[in-house]
Amino acid sequence: MKHVITGDHAVAIGAKLCRVEVVPAYPITPQTLIIEHIAEFVNDGEMNAKFMTMESEHSVMSAAAGASAAGARVFTATSSQGLAFMHEMVYATAPLRLPVVMVNVNRSLSSPPGIWVEYNDSMGERDSGWLQVYVEDNQEALDMVIQSYRIAEDKRVLLPIMPCLDGFVLSHTVEPVDVPDESLVDSFLSPYEPDVYLNPEQPAVIGMLMPPQYFMEMRRQTAGAVEAAKEVVVEVNREFAKVFGRDYGGLIDTYRMEDAQIALITIGTVTSTARKVVDDMRNEGKKVGIVKLRFFRPFPAEELRAALSGMGAVGVIDRSISYNGGGPIFSEVRSALYGMTMPVINHLAGIGGRDVTENLIMTMFELTLEAAKGGKVKEVIWHETRGETL
């Protein structure tokens, strides 16, 4: 059934549909609506979960880890400062193979303080072992909460996962969302049944001190699980499409790439705007296309190489900065495309919540086309930034 709801509301409904059992929570804009909706579901008796009002995000992730280790399906949500505050616990969770799902509503990280979208918060957790997926609209937000449990709890993976959505652009904006039937979700997602957990009948020790003789093996196993997640993501997407009729493409999605000469790599909500721009430019005979980066971890290096082979140039949109000259997605893409000869241009835009308009995306395409023709184009471009010239 279609509901016109915010992204945060869609996420909360997703958590309810997944029958999550423990929800430790702490407020932060623009995530707060999620936990408020869940609190209402619980207090109205619509959701049979233990809702825990924690006293900090560090404690949220500590309780989440404890509950997950004790065998429960756990959900929580955070943003920005909250994610930074729980950083230690984010790292603690993944190698213990605790399949927690935590939605991160992307928001800039102080300083300077701001509450609008930027990806510096989640991208800072790149190396934690968490999987990360970025969504384009409220429907995908809901759907990816459901898919996330299937991916995270898969025995080949057993890792926590962070579905990420753009602060305000999705979190506080209403869109029509098809809310699936509970029975359909039940048929897609079975209850969480861990093989190993804190069970007094079969005592396990989880979180031991790991001396150097064993440490690397544990890291290798976590790395292996992140790699294994690639095929699981694709499988789950395929099966989800069969059951729910919505196909998101897997690790990446493409738009009008069949005969494209250049491509723009997008992430999150700018993708929707870029789709419209591609249609307009195609009408003018310009052969442009989009590769939508969905998963940042595992990073789809081979998939990108395949999708981008033969391009005259590639543009990469980054909505955050790594202070190393470009954005984090740019660094990863360039490394993935190593050995391929096309120019790769980094388009920094929309950082801190500034609008990324059709015109701006058109400019990005034009500059990328220019680079493909061998024109002189800066490698890293700060778009629409005072004091900066193209």
| Separation between Cα atoms, residue 377 and residue 371, nearest integer Å | 6
Report if residue 39 touches other proteins, rule: CB under 8 A: no
Residues 6+ apart with CB under 8 A from 292: 136, 249, 252, 253, 254, 255, 265, 266, 267, 271
Q: Which of 3, 39, 42, 71 binds other proteins (CB under 8 A)?
A: 71
Nearest CA-CA partner of 11 in 152, 179, 151, 131: 179
Q: Which of 1, 45, 193, 209 binds other proteins (CB under 8 A)?
A: 209
| # binding residues, other proteins (CB under 8 A) | 44
Report if residue 185 touches other proteins, rule: CB under 8 A: no
The CB-of-221 to other proteins minimum distance in angstroms stands at 13
Q: Interface mask (CB under 8 A) for other proteins, residues 98-137, using x and -?
A: ----------------------------------------
Stretch that binds other proteins, among 91-99, 148-156, 165-173, 317-325 (CB under 8 A): 91-99
The CB-of-297 to other proteins minimum distance in angstroms stands at 20
- Closer to other proteins by CB, 45 or 200: give it: 200
Fill in the DSSP letter of residue 139: H
In total, the chain counts a number of residues equal to: 390
Residue identified by tokens 């992140």 is 226
Nearest CA-CA partner of 347 in 338, 370, 339, 336: 370
Report if residue 198 touches other proteins, rule: CB under 8 A: yes
Q: Interface mask (CB under 8 A) for other proteins, residues 221-260, using x and -?
A: ----------------------------------------
CB 106, CB 141: distance < 8 Å: no
CB 278, CB 234: distance < 8 Å: no
Report if residue 67 touches other proteins, rule: CB under 8 A: yes
Q: Which of 155, 174, 176, 207 binds other proteins (CB under 8 A)?
A: 207
| Separation between Cα atoms, residue 346 and residue 364, nearest integer Å | 9
| Separation between Cα atoms, residue 149 and residue 312, nearest integer Å | 39
Q: Which of 205, 245, 285, 341 binds other proteins (CB under 8 A)?
A: 205
Report if residue 79 touches other proteins, rule: CB under 8 A: no
User: What does the radius of gyration of the chain's CA atoms come to, in whole angstroms?
Assistant: 21
What is the residue-wise DSSP string for 272-324?
A: HHHHHHHHHHHHTT--EEEEEE-EEES--HHHHHHHHTT-SEEEEEESS--SS
Report if residue 211 touches other proteins, rule: CB under 8 A: yes
| Separation between Cα atoms, residue 47 and residue 345, nearest integer Å | 47
Stretch that binds other proteins, among 44-52, 169-177, 233-241, 279-287 (CB under 8 A): 44-52
- Closer to other proteins by CB, 92 or 228: give it: 92
The CB-of-61 to other proteins minimum distance in angstroms stands at 8
What is the residue-wise DSSP string for 60-77?
A: HHHHHHHHHHTT--BEEE
The CB-of-102 to other proteins minimum distance in angstroms stands at 13
- Closer to other proteins by CB, 71 or 114: give it: 71
Residue identified by tokens 């709801």 is 5
Report if residue 43 touches other proteins, rule: CB under 8 A: no
- Closer to other proteins by CB, 211 or 245: give it: 211
Q: Which of 33, 38, 64, 349 binds other proteins (CB under 8 A)?
A: 64
Q: Which of 5, 9, 14, 21 binds other proteins (CB under 8 A)?
A: 21
Report if residue 46 touches other proteins, rule: CB under 8 A: no
Nearest CA-CA partner of 169 in 382, 7, 365, 385: 7
Report if residue 50 touches other proteins, rule: CB under 8 A: yes
Report if residue 94 touches other proteins, rule: CB under 8 A: no
Report if residue 1 touches other proteins, rule: CB under 8 A: no
Nearest CA-CA partner of 316 in 252, 373, 250: 252
The enclosing H or E element of 84 equals helix 80-85
> Which residues are near other proteins by CB under 8 A?
21-22, 24, 48-50, 52-56, 58-60, 62-72, 88-89, 92-93, 96, 197-200, 203-211, 214
